[in-house]
């Protein structure tokens, strides 16, 4: 067998651990050759395919990012650089030229949607779920999420010390797109006084009252807010990229909330947009293990010839899901989720 391997979408802690696990398992268990495709699906368009050896992947499990590079704006079925034309035949030619028997694709919902379309064109594909947002359908956890939560929780702890010193309201805006998993879990881990997620309408009057109450008692207020929260029914859009599979880049809700709060409070209000620090750096031990398990499971699916599937985690059990089921939407925080109940009971989910 000759297997191609690519990482699509945004970078994420744990990608290299998956690459290592897939490559080593296929080389050692199946005697397969493995080639890496540079910069995601763009590498299929530009014929950037390189052989991988065991030595190439041996020492990369703790490295952040991806040794293969990635790209989050290339969709061969809708090429924004060519007026939205379907240029997938070029990618298929690359697969044929290198005689790749199957493709292992590591990415988020956009990447899985593209992988599904290749599967419909007859390409044997296995998907591995990757996103710090934890918003992929049918898998309870994606690697990269734990690393992002750890970064945000540590940041909240640092913000709390300066907030307490000055009696301020400090707002930390997290990533997450349209799901509130990072803001919720990191908010609990970082002892936020207020957590705001897109799945619940933010009660501005209740938030204002909480800030007044904290200030009156000589304290401070620490707010963890997800970038997908709407204020007065409006999302905060930082940028629109017409040629991207996901054209809206959210961001700025923390600053918008600061502008709304400041005139109504005696306390000083500051906001921080944590941004890409959440997706960079070394993966946590949990993410290294989860990514390794996912990579091994992907290699098993390839060896069994079970294609058109994505590796998934349900409970603590590895399973697999049809790609077509994964590409249908976004996994948001359910209203009755235990973390929601916990945060509501603590009085921090407003």
In terms of domains, do 159 and 131 share one? no
Q: Are 200 and 215 in contact (CB under 8 A)?
A: no
Burial of 59 (0-12, 13-18, 19+ CB in 10 A): exposed
The question of whether 133 is a catalytic residue gets the answer yes
In terms of domains, do 247 and 301 share one? no
Query: In b/e form, how buried is each residue of 281-314, taking b as 16+ CB within 10 angstroms?
Result: eebbebbbbbbbbbbbbbbbbbbeeebbbbbbbe
Say yes or no to pLDDT of 310 above 80: yes
In terms of domains, do 219 and 268 share one? yes
Q: What is the domain-level CATH number for residue 37?
A: 3.40.50.450
**In which residue are the tokens 């401070």 written?**
220
In terms of domains, do 187 and 72 share one? no
For residue 98, what pLDDT is reported? 98
For residue 245, what pLDDT is reported? 61
Say yes or no to pLDDT of 253 above 80: yes
For residue 84, what pLDDT is reported? 86
Strand partners, 129: 107
For residue 243, what pLDDT is reported? 66
What pLDDT, in 10s, does the model give residues 133-161? Answer: 999 999 999 999 999 999 999 999 999 99
284 contact partners, CB below 8 Å, separation of at least 6: 13, 146, 147, 150
Per-residue pLDDT band for 277 (boundaries 50, 70, 90) equals very high
In terms of domains, do 101 and 125 share one? yes
Say yes or no to pLDDT of 77 above 70: yes
In terms of domains, do 248 and 189 share one? yes
Average the pLDDT over 35-58 and give the result: 97
Say yes or no to pLDDT of 66 above 90: yes
The pTM of the full predicted model, rounded to 2 decimals, is 0.94
Say yes or no to pLDDT of 229 above 80: yes
Q: Pick 308 or 232 by higher pLDDT.
A: 308
Q: How many domains does the chain have?
A: 2
In terms of domains, do 152 and 243 share one? yes
Per-residue pLDDT band for 97 (boundaries 50, 70, 90) equals very high
In terms of domains, do 200 and 154 share one? yes
Average the pLDDT over 309-337 and give the result: 93
Q: What value does the mean pLDDT of the chain take?
A: 95
Instruction: Quote the tokens at residue 67.
Output: 């040794």
Catalytic residue among 11, 75, 109, 133: 133
| CA dist list (Å): 84 to 43, 74, 247 | 18, 11, 13
Say yes or no to pLDDT of 189 above 80: yes
> Which residue from 197, 182, 125, 164 is spatially nearest to 348, judged by alpha carbons?
197
Q: Pick 80 or 323 by higher pLDDT.
A: 323
Range of the domain at 167: 148-278
Q: Percent of the chain having pLDDT more than 70?
A: 99
Q: What is the domain-level CATH number for residue 163?
A: 3.40.50.460
């Amino acid at each position: 067998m000759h297997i191609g391997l690519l990482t699509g979408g945004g970078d994420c802690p744990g990608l290299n651990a998956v690459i290592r696990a897939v490559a080593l398992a296929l080389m050692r268990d199946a005697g397969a050759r493995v080639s890496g495709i540079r910069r995601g699906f763009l590498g299929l368009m530009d014929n950037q395919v390189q052989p991988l050896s065991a030595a190439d992947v041996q020492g990369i499990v703790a490295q952040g990012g991806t040794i293969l590079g990635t790209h989050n704006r290339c969709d061969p079925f809708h090429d924004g650089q060519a007026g939205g034309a379907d240029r997938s035949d070029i990618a298929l030619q690359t697969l044929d030229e290198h005689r790749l028997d199957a493709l292992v694709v590591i990415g988020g919902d956009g990447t899985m949607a593209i992988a599904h379309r290749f599967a419909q064109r007859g390409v044997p594909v296995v998907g591995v779920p990757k996103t710090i947002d934890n918003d992929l359908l049918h898998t309870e956890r994606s690697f990269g999420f734990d690393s992002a939560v750890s970064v945000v929780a540590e940041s909240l702890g640092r913000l709390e010390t300066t907030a307490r010193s000055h009696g301020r309201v400090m707002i930390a805006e997290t990533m997450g797109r349209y799901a509130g998993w990072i803001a919720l879990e990191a908010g609990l881990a970082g002892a936020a006084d207020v957590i705001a997620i897109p799945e619940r309408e933010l009660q501005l009057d209740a938030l204002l009252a909480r800030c007044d109450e904290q200030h009156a008692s000589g304290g401070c207020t620490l707010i963890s807010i997800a970038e997908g929260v709407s204020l007065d029914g409006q999302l905060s859009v930082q940028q629109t990229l017409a040629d991207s599979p996901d054209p809206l880049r959210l961001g700025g809700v923390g600053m918008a909330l600061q502008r709304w709060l400041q005139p109504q409070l005696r306390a000083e209000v500051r906001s921080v947009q944590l941004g890409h620090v959440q997706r960079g750096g070394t993966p946590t031990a949990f993410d290294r293990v989860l990514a390794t398990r996912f990579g091994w499971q992907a290699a098993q699916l390839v060896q069994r010839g079970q294609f058109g599937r994505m590796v998934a985690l349900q409970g603590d059990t590895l399973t697999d899901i049809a790609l077509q089921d994964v590409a249908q939407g976004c996994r948001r925080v359910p209203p009755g989720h235990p973390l929601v109940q916990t945060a509501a009971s603590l009085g921090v989910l407003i």
